[in-house]
Amino acid sequence: MLAIGFTNSWGAMLLRHIRYFLAVAEQGNFTRAAEALHVSQPTLSQQIKQLEDTLGAPLFDRSGRAVRLTDAGEAWMRYARLALQDLDAGARAIHDVATLERGHLRLAMTPTFTAYLVGPTIDAFYRRYPGITLSIEEMAQERIETLLAQDRLDLGIAFEMAQSAEVEAAALFSETLELMVGAGHPLAARHRPLTLAEWQHLPLALLSGDFATRQFIDRYCTQLGFRPQVAVEANALGAIVEIVRRGQLATLLPAAIARENRQLKKVALANAMPVRQAVWLQRKGAYRSAAAQAFIAVLQEQGVTPTPPSAASSPADAPARSRGKSAN
């Protein structure tokens, strides 16, 4: 009898009860939650009381100045969030337009992508699908995976495979890094490949250590038995490009950046950099909209897939992939 009664009680629970519960939990205050939900505070309080009656346990401790979750509330919040994520995904699936005449896509990319790939990709996508609106943010991969798991993003673009168990990844395209100098650098007119003995002592301007690009470079140099001679570190790719373009320092950046900046000159290396893989990320098991699939297709078209270095000019084994935090 208890089981039957409990099962039937779920019929009284509506989607708004879940949304109201999560709003109060996040705001820690009924007044602020009511304002965020655009409902009156008495209405919100009544709906939360109905939810507590349905579940048979108090979800909030209202005794202090701030509203806090009870143990029961803490236990239920995880499942409420998952349920809301799935219900929202279902609603997006129902309203997804196969013709891509309208829709919205929430994207996040690591800094290296926004520096040279976001412009041509968005231009190509908009020309084909002008009815699709895009929200784009730049952030580290760790943050991308957090927001994907919370269903606050549809897609993430990065250079590392997924580190979170709640996120899955798939290959997009491959690219290689190249040594670059400014037009006034002594190596700008060099045609002969730079040997390892020559470039291991070259003063460099590199991205800081929290970037996956820098970690990739450091692993490669370690494999070859030396540490790069870093004269300048910066946490912005634009700063690196400007420093190298105007000065006497070299850098290692994606080959596509040299094509976008004609004042940067590529210098061939006898020991070519290994290829690295770009990936797209999404919440594991999440619905992938037609807009997301179309964006991935455009991104693959825009990506650079270089010819892999020959065995004679590249290390025997590719550097091991780092699992640490990185901005890319």
Detail the DSSP E strand segments found in the chain.
Answer: 60-61, 68-69, 103-109, 132-138, 155-158, 167-182, 204-207, 230-234, 251-254, 264-267, 275-283
Question: pLDDT digit string (tens) for 91-104?
Answer: 777 776 666 878 89
The pLDDT, as a whole number, for residue 307 is 32
Please give the full DSSP string across 104-151, using - where no structure is assigned: EEEEEE-HHHHHHTHHHHHHHHHHH-TTEEEEEEE--HHHHHHHHHTT
> Could you tell me whether strands 155-158 and 103-109 are parallel, antiparallel, or unpaired per DSSP bridges?
parallel
The pLDDT, as a whole number, for residue 13 is 66
Quick check: helix, strand or coil at residue 208? coil
Which residues, given as ranges, of the chain have pLDDT below 70?
Answer: 1-13, 96-99, 303-328
Residue 168 bridge partners (DSSP): 282
Question: pLDDT digit string (tens) for 23-67?
Answer: 999 999 999 999 999 999 999 999 999 999 989 999 999 988 889
Domain coordinates in residue numbering, the chain = 2-95, 103-173+276-302, 176-274
Q: Do domains 2-95 and 103-173+276-302 have the same CATH topology?
A: no
Fold designation for 2-95: Arc Repressor Mutant, subunit A (1.10.10)
Pairwise CA distance, residues 159 & 244, whole Å: 23
Please give the full DSSP string across 70-115, using - where no structure is assigned: -HHHHHHHHHHHHHHHHHHHHHHHHH--TT-SSEEEEEEE-HHHHH
Q: Is 320 left (phi over 0), alpha (psi -120 to 50) or beta?
A: beta
Pairwise CA distance, residues 236 & 208, whole Å: 8
Name the CA radius of gyration of the chain, rounded.
26
Determine how many CB atoms are found less than 10 A away from the CB of residue 304. 15
Spell out a b/e string for 68-91, using b for 16 or more CB atoms within 10 Å of the CB, else e: ebeeebeebbeebbeebbeeebee
Fold designation for 176-274: D-Maltodextrin-Binding Protein; domain 2 (3.40.190)
User: Is the Cβ–Cβ distance between 279 and 169 less than 8 Å?
Assistant: yes
DSSP one-letter code for 12: G
Fold designation for 103-173+276-302: D-Maltodextrin-Binding Protein; domain 2 (3.40.190)
Contacts of 71 (CB under 8 A, 6+ apart): none
The pLDDT, as a whole number, for residue 303 is 67
Contacts of 82 (CB under 8 A, 6+ apart): none
Confidence (pTM): 0.61
Determine how many CB atoms are found less than 10 A away from the CB of residue 276. 19
Determine how many CB atoms are found less than 10 A away from the CB of residue 17. 18
Residue 175 bridge partners (DSSP): 276
DSSP one-letter code for 10: G
Q: Which residue has the tokens 């927001």?
A: 147
